Chains A and B, each alone.
Chain A
Amino acid sequence: MSGQRVTRRQILKLAGLGAAGGMLAACAPAQPAPTAPAAQAPAAGPTQYEQGEMKILLCCSGQDEIDLRAKWNTEFEQKYPGVKIIQEVPPPGTGYFEKLQTLIAAGTPPDLFDMWEGYVQPYAANGALLDLEPFIAGDPKIKRDDIVPAAITAGSWQDKIHAMLIGFMPGPVSLYYNPDHFAKAGVDLPSPDWKWDDVLNAAKSLTLDADGDGIPEQWGFSFGNWFVNHLYTVWSNGGDWFTPDSSKSTLTDPKTVEALQYWADLVTKHKVAPGSSAMQVLQSNEEAFKAGTLSMYLGNYWNVGEFKNISAFDWKAVLTPKANNGNRVWYMHTACWSISPPSKVKNAAWEYIREFVLDSVIEPLVPYIPSLRSMIDRFFDVPLHKELGYEPLRKLVTQPDVIRIPGAGEKFDKIQGMIQAEIDLVMNGQKTALEAMQAATPLVDAELARR
């Protein structure tokens, strides 16, 4: 993968100012115009589908991925005569969801678009996603029983699939490391059975501040200060964020607090991981790792693409470390498709989704565990995936309890912002984890209680 993949966090942080667009959208009819009866395809087609333009909106794809998709789109058009695909990718730095919301509000939603795990519920609850169950029920190639249970959960709202998963991956999935640093420091290489304390001990030996100015030239370890990592740490430590019915928060649960404090201590107490100020200088974890100023990085599957180009050292990766209690529970990243309810080419869109999923179109660039059980082996047989130590991830298919999406449903995006605001203070050393979670609890509970 030569093009840099834009991460979700970057997209969220750099989201463009959409107020003007929103104003314009506000002027437009809120409800899409009624759809005209679609022209039916000739009987020669694979199934009945509508002819016409099919608008696809993608989020945050690198140029190589866009090219790969465009090539596949051409093949699809040839296979489905009469369908004309118009693929749009907002430029980097543009807020994908601001763009999508504005298009929907303007009554001109794309027929087919990228969805994310945390957004399926709010969009479905607001009527912006088509119920895909009838399409799955009538599909000759995809059977509901074949879909991995965790994938059904992640793509569903009110027990009905509203987003069809292309695939999913645990987050953060890998501990990437620089073997040269380990060799120089005489530290044992990481193993898939490492626990958090093993990471801490190694990081202490790997963090180097030769000139003693308090700013290490080499950081032993780093992780992203965002909710994906915090979910992994808290869940792995046996804590949680909400009660099972999502009616109240459990932020002050001792295990939740302990996990957050442990990871904050890596920055503020042990000083083996860079805080926000140091990170600004390093630009990003990924850049620091590529530049050889970071020994270990707890990263995600998409990092593989950009790390492939590192020539200065032969990087390696093992699975995410376990909590000190021996448990490891991941957040579930997904890649999925949704269809707009007012689309005039719903059947063609579903055909597209099915073929896209079955062809594993983006697998060469972005590794996802397929959402269909029948395709699982294909993922684990890839030599690179073996090398990355993904084999134990097979259990995610049969043990969905070790990969989760958070509760709070359509309110999660707002609530995670409330919690993150307090966690930022913990990571800066301004508050203890307990103080921060005590401050966040009434705000989160009030939001959960609000109808």
Chain B
Amino acid sequence: MASLESRLGAGATPHRRPWMTQSRREAIVAYIFISPWLFGLLLFLVGPILLSFYFSLTKYTLVQAPQWLGLANYERMLTDPFVGIALQVTGTYTLLAVPLGTVTSLLVALLLNQKVAGIRAFRTIFYMPSLISGVAVAIVFSWLFNHRLGIVNFILSRVGIQGPNWLGDPNVVLWTLVLMSLWGAGSGAVIFLAALQGVPQSLYEAAELDGAGGFRKFWHITIPLISPVIMFSVITGVIGTFQTFTISYLMTGGGPGYATLFYLLYLYRNAFNWFEMGYASALAWVLFLIILFFTLILLRTSSLWVYYESAGRER
């Protein structure tokens, strides 16, 4: 204070900044405006998330107060054969559906990026399936894939092929669900389409001058420049497929046998059919860690397979 007085001069009163500055006032107003959302976030998202972690450490039947178990639910998962089955089913589905879905979306986007008459109508048509509810899609596809009278096997029979029991054969059913997942490729295609349209034409023109053909342009220009979008598609795909529920719940009930016992279906049954909410909460947290693990791997390895334009310039 002495130094301040000496700087201000003797007898001068120090100028105190008011507590309620303009920026503070703006911040308070902003918080007031977003407070309903914040309240909702804490009450309906953060609260249940924290509670579910607590429940995962307890025996909680939903109808009785939780009893502390420590890590017993997590230990139980190590010896529960159905966890292994569910992870295998879900992992296999992810391994099949994500790459196939990404490639299909990209191919559709390439088609929709052509300058042909009526392209806007085509774009709408390809996007529309993703607007239909998953429940409706599941019911319609269970009819399409009906072993005896489904239209898929009917068409196959017209060309002399005896179609499989799409939903009844444990060796086939997961492939059926993967095929079905391509139904929603339109939504991914829209994102790829935006990325494709962001690729500068000048790069293609330069490549053409250097004699590059269609495939080389696609491989050396298009793919690198849209690789961040591919990464986005893969990450959201992995997150989504690990949470697959509706199709197995409605179409197959986890069967035949356990061929479509997805992780989330098993979790749901524990929580709402078998009075095992504590164990289901532990399953949910492990699923979260699995998804986090794969997401981090994809992000950490992205420098190896994703081209970032800004990073390229820095180099």
A421 near B254: Cβ-Cβ < 8 Å: yes
Give the complex CA separation of A27 and B143 in angstroms. 39
Say whether, besides A13-B253, A425-B257, A428-B168, A98 and B51 are in contact (CB < 8 Å).
Answer: no
Give the complex CA separation of A443 and B48 in angstroms. 32
A17, A98, A123, A277: the one contacting B148 at CB < 8 Å is A277
Give the complex CA separation of A27 and B45 in angstroms. 10
- Residues of B162-197 whose CB lies within 8 A of A: 165, 167-170
One of A18-26, A137-145, A299-307, A329-337 contacting the partner:
A18-26
* Interface flag for B37 (CB, 8 Å): no
* Interface flag for A101 (CB, 8 Å): yes
Contact flags A127-150 to B (C-beta < 8 A → 1, else 0)? 110000000000000000000000
One of B7-15, B94-102, B107-115, B267-275 contacting the partner:
B267-275
Say whether, besides A215-B148, A428-B256, A443-B81, A30 and B64 are in contact (CB < 8 Å).
Answer: yes
* Interface flag for A31 (CB, 8 Å): yes
Say whether, besides A278-B148, A421-B258, A446-B81, A128 and B273 are in contact (CB < 8 Å).
Answer: no
B146 near A280: Cβ-Cβ < 8 Å: yes
Least distance between A173 CB and chain B CB atoms (Å): 26
* Interface flag for B105 (CB, 8 Å): no
Give the complex CA separation of A275 and B147 in angstroms. 10
Q: Which residue of A lies closest to B145 (CB)?
A: A277
A425 near B256: Cβ-Cβ < 8 Å: yes
Say whether, besides A13-B253, A425-B170, A428-B256, A277 and B146 are in contact (CB < 8 Å).
Answer: yes
One of B55-63, B200-208, B231-239 contacting the partner:
B55-63
Give the complex CA separation of A428 and B274 in angstroms. 27
A101 near B148: Cβ-Cβ < 8 Å: no
Say whether, besides A127-B64, A277-B165, A422-B257, A414 and B274 are in contact (CB < 8 Å).
Answer: yes
* Interface flag for A363 (CB, 8 Å): no
A280 near B142: Cβ-Cβ < 8 Å: yes
By a CB distance below 8 angstroms, the chain A residues around B60 are 30
By a CB distance below 8 angstroms, the chain B residues around A281 are 146, 148-149
* Interface flag for B249 (CB, 8 Å): yes
A104, A413, A430, A443: the one contacting B273 at CB < 8 Å is A413
Of A26, A422, A446, most buried by chain B (CB within 10 Å of CB) is: A26
By a CB distance below 8 angstroms, the chain B residues around A413 are 273-274
By a CB distance below 8 angstroms, the chain A residues around B55 are 26
Number of A-B contacts (CB under 8 A): 106
Contact flags A107-135 to B (C-beta < 8 A → 1, else 0)? 00000000000000011001110000000
* Interface flag for B43 (CB, 8 Å): yes
* Interface flag for B255 (CB, 8 Å): yes
Q: Which residue of A lies closest to B47 (CB)?
A: A27
Give the complex CA separation of A101 and B142 in angstroms. 30
* Interface flag for B304 (CB, 8 Å): no
Contact flags A264-278 to B (C-beta < 8 A → 1, else 0)? 000000000001111
Say whether, besides A126-B275, A424-B256, A26 and B48 are in contact (CB < 8 Å).
Answer: yes
* Interface flag for B66 (CB, 8 Å): yes
* Interface flag for B52 (CB, 8 Å): yes
* Interface flag for A105 (CB, 8 Å): yes
* Interface flag for A95 (CB, 8 Å): yes
Give the complex CA separation of A396 and B84 in angstroms. 44
Q: Which residue of A lies closest to B252 (CB)?
A: A424
- Residues of A64-105 whose CB lies within 8 A of B: 95, 97-98, 101-102, 104-105
Contact flags A412-430 to B (C-beta < 8 A → 1, else 0)? 0110010001101100101
By a CB distance below 8 angstroms, the chain A residues around B43 are 27
* Interface flag for B78 (CB, 8 Å): no
* Interface flag for B1 (CB, 8 Å): no
B148 near A126: Cβ-Cβ < 8 Å: no
Give the complex CA separation of A105 and B277 in angstroms. 11
Say whether, besides A424-B255, A428-B165, A428-B168, A126 and B64 are in contact (CB < 8 Å).
Answer: yes
A277 near B168: Cβ-Cβ < 8 Å: yes
By a CB distance below 8 angstroms, the chain A residues around B143 are 280
- Residues of A19-74 whose CB lies within 8 A of B: 19, 22-27, 30-31
* Interface flag for B136 (CB, 8 Å): no
Least distance between B88 CB and chain A CB atoms (Å): 15
B269 near A17: Cβ-Cβ < 8 Å: no
* Interface flag for B311 (CB, 8 Å): no
19 contacts between A and B (CB under 8 A): A13-B253, A17-B245, A18-B272, A22-B272, A25-B62, A26-B277, A27-B44, A30-B65, A123-B63, A126-B63, A126-B64, A128-B64, A215-B148, A215-B149, A275-B168, A277-B146, A277-B148, A422-B257, A443-B82
What are the 8 closest A-B residue pairs judged by CB atoms, nearest first?
Answer: A277-B147, A128-B63, A105-B62, A126-B63, A104-B63, A277-B148, A30-B65, A126-B61
A residues adjacent to B (C-beta < 8 A): 13, 17-19, 22-27, 30-31, 95, 97-98, 101-102, 104-105, 122-123, 126-128, 215, 275-278, 280-281, 410, 413-414, 417, 421-422, 424-425, 428, 430, 443, 446
* Additional 16 contacts, C-beta under 8 A, given A127-B64, A425-B256: A13-B253, A22-B271, A26-B52, A26-B277, A95-B272, A101-B62, A101-B275, A102-B62, A105-B62, A126-B62, A127-B63, A277-B167, A278-B148, A280-B143, A424-B256, A425-B257
